[in-house]
Amino acid sequence: MTDQPPPTQSQYALDVSQLSAGYPGNNRAIDDLNFVIHKGERVALIGPNGAGKTTLFKAIAGLIPFTDGEISVYGEDCRSSHNFVGYVPQNSEIDWDFPVNVTDVVMMGRARQSRWLPWAKAADRDRVHTLLAQLNLSSLAKRQIGELSGGQKRRGFIARALAQEANILLMDEPFNGVDGAAEDTIMETLNFLTDQGITLLLATHDMARAARDFDRIMLLKRRLIAYGAPDDVMNPAALQQAYGGAMRIFNDGQATIFIADEHGTGH
C-alpha cells in the first residue's frame, strides 16, 4: 500500500509510554497511558464520551503536544516519524462545504512529498489514482467531497491518509452516522488494509463490532482501564469502571449484551 517500507528496528508499530496530554486551560484529558500495538494488528478503542480517545489520536498524529511520556512509531520518536501515521478524524471536524473534489482531498495526503497541489509530480498523481481505484472511488474522483455519502467520505479520507505513505491508521468513529450498508463497505476497506499490513487503531462506540472484528480492545477513561483480547476486556467489572451507571449489562442465557447509554454526556 505504501511507497516505502517503515523502519524495521522495532517489533511494535506503536509504543506509548507514560503518555499524558490535554488542552490549554484544561486538566489532562489522558493520563499516564502505557501500551504497545504490534505491526499489522487491528485494535478497537472504546470508552465513554469525554474519555480522551480523540486526544490520544491527536497526540499520536502530532496535532497536539503531549505534556509527559513518549510515543514511538516503528522504534522512532513520533516527532520524526509522523509520515507513518495517518489520521481520519470524526465527521464533525471536517468542513464538507470546502470546494475540493475527491481527487484533491486524496492529493492533500501527498503534501509532505510535493509541498502543494500545483507542484504534484507524476508519481504523486499515479499514487492518488491507484488509491482511488483500490478504495472504489475512481468514479467519484471529480465529485465535490461534501456530495458523497457517509461511507464514501470515510473512504476518501482513508485514501488521503494512505497517500502520505501511512503504515498506521488512526480512525475516529468511522461508523458514526452511516447506515448498515456503509458500515459493511467500511469493514471491507478495513479488511483490505489489514491484508496489506496496515496497523489500525479505531475508536468506536459499537462494542459488539469491537469484540467481533478486532484483535484487541483498549478501554479508556482518561487512564487505561483495560487492554487485551476482547474476551478479557469485555467483562462487567472493567466496563462498569469505565461507564459507571451508564452501562447496562444483560444476559439472555446465550450471550452477554453490553449497552452504553451516554445520552446527554459531552464528547
Note whether residue 6 is domain-resident: no
Q: How high is the mean pLDDT in each 10-residue block of the chain (267 residues)?
A: 54 94 81 96 95 94 89 84 84 82 90 57 88 93 91 90 90 89 90 93 93 96 96 90 73 60 48
Alpha-carbon distances, residue 197 vs 2, 180, 253 (angstroms): 10, 26, 38
At residue 264, the pLDDT reads: 41
In this structure, the dihedral spanned by the alpha carbons of residues 176, 90, 203 and 134, taken in order and rounded to 10 degrees, is 90
pLDDT for 159: 92
Query: What is the rounded CA–CA span in Å between residue 247 and residue 262?
Result: 8
Whether the model pTM is above 0.75: yes
Residue 1: predicted pLDDT: 46
At 245 the pLDDT is 67
Q: Is residue 73 part of a domain?
A: yes
Q: Are strands 42-46 and 216-221 parallel, antiparallel or unpaired?
A: parallel
Q: What CATH number is attached to the domain comprising 134?
A: 3.40.50.300
Asked, for residue 134, whether it belongs to a domain, the answer is yes
Using an 8 Å Cβ cutoff, are 201 and 168 in contact? yes
Q: What is the pLDDT of residue 246?
A: 64
pLDDT at 26: 66
Retrieve residue 37's grid coordinates. Answer: 500495538
Angle at which helix 122-134 crosses helix 150-163, to 10 degrees, equals 140
Euclidean distance between CA atoms 12 and 8, whole angstroms: 9
Is residue 5 situated within a structural domain?
no
CA distances from 175 to 56, 67, 185, 202, 267 (A): 19, 30, 10, 10, 16
Pick the closest to residue 194 from 172, 171, 177, 224 (CA basis).
171
For residue 68, is it within any domain?
Answer: yes
Asked whether residue 163 is domain-assigned, the answer is yes
CA angle (237, 58, 51) in 5-degree steps: 25
Q: Domain of 122?
A: 12-260
How many structural domains does the chain have?
1
Tell me the C-alpha distance between 112 and 127, whole Å. 14
Give whole-number Cα distances, 216 to 75, 102, 234, in Å: 21, 32, 10
Taking only the tens place, the pLDDT of each residue in 189-241 is: 999 999 999 999 999 999 889 999 999 999 999 999 999 999 999 988 899 89
Provide the residue count of the chain: 267
Question: What pLDDT score does 251 carry?
Answer: 59
Give a yes or no: residue 125 inside a domain. yes
Q: Is residue 132 assigned to a domain?
A: yes
What separation in angstroms does the CA of 65 have from each of 28, 69, 115, 221? 12, 11, 23, 20
Phi first, then psi, for residue 3 (nearest 5°) are: -75, -25
